[in-house]
Amino acid sequence: MPDLLDSLPTLEALFTPSPESVASSIKKFQAEIKRGLNGENSSIAMHPSYVSRPTGREVGEFVALDMGGSNVRVTVVVLAGDGVISVKQHETLRLSRIDGEAADLFDPIAAFIGSVLEEGRNYDLGFIFAFPTDQAGVNRGRLTKWTKEFAFRGVEGNDVSELLEQSIVRQTGTIPELKSVSVTALANDTVGVLVTGAYSDARCDMGLIVATGTNMAVAVDRTLVSRPLPPTVGNPDEMLFNMECGNFDGVVSIQTPYDRILDAESDSQGQLLEKMISGRYLGEIVRLVVAGMISEGRGFSGWNGLNSVFRVPYGFTTEHLSDIAHDETPELAGVGMLLNRLGVGAVGIHERSVFKKTCQLVAGRSARMVAMSIAATTLYIDPLLESQHVVAVDGSLFRGYPGYQEGVQAGLQEMLGDSAAERALVSYIRDGSGIGAAIIAAVAGAGSS
List pLDDT tens digits, range 234-278: 999 999 999 999 999 999 999 999 999 999 999 777 899 999 999
Q: How confident is the model at residue 421 (pLDDT cuts 50, 70, 90)?
A: confident
Q: How confident is the model at residue 3 (pLDDT cuts 50, 70, 90)?
A: low
Tally of CB atoms within 10 A around 95: 17
Residue range 290-316, pLDDT digits in tens: 999 999 988 899 999 999 999 999 999
Q: How confident is the model at residue 162 (pLDDT cuts 50, 70, 90)?
A: very high
pLDDT score at 257: 97
* Res. 328: pLDDT tops 50: yes
CATH 3.30.420.40 correct for 50-201+430-442: yes
pTM of the model as a whole: 0.90
Nearest to 278 by CA among 113, 401, 410: 401
Which residues lie across from 100 on neighbouring strands? 152
* Res. 448: pLDDT tops 50: no
Mean pLDDT of 332-360: 94
Residues in CB range of 259: below 8 A, 6 or more apart: 272, 275, 276, 285
Mean pLDDT of 145-155: 89
Q: Are 48 and 238 in contact (CB under 8 A)?
A: no
pLDDT score at 447: 47
Tally of CB atoms within 10 A around 297: 9
CA distance 280 to 285: 10
What are the b/e assignments for 149-163, b being 16+ CB within 10 Å? ebebeebbeebbbbb
* Res. 343: pLDDT tops 90: yes
Q: Residue 16 has what DSSP assignment?
A: S
**pLDDT > 90 in the chain, percent:** 82
Bridging pattern class, strands 181-187 and 47-48: unpaired
Average model confidence (pLDDT) across the chain: 93
Q: Residue 233 has what DSSP assignment?
A: B
Backbone phi, then psi, for 283, in 5-degree steps?
-60, -40
Count how many residues are written for the chain: 449
Residues in CB range of 383: below 8 A, 6 or more apart: none
Q: Helices 349-381 and 318-326: crossing angle, nearest 10°?
A: 110
Query: Which residue did the predictor score with more confidence, 131 or 290?
Result: 290
pLDDT score at 274: 97
Mean pLDDT of 194-205: 96
Mean pLDDT of 187-206: 95
* Res. 13: pLDDT tops 80: yes
Q: Are 131 and 150 in contact (CB under 8 A)?
A: yes
pLDDT score at 133: 85
Q: Where are the domains of the chain?
A: 50-201+430-442
C-alpha 4: how far from chain center: 34
pLDDT score at 449: 39
**pLDDT > 70 in the chain, percent:** 98
Residue range 64-117, pLDDT digits in tens: 998 978 889 999 999 999 999 999 999 999 999 999 999 999 999 999 999 999
CA distance 39 to 227: 7
Q: Are 117 and 98 in contact (CB under 8 A)?
A: no
Q: Which of 32-41, 62-71, 112-121, 146-155 has the highest mean pLDDT?
A: 32-41
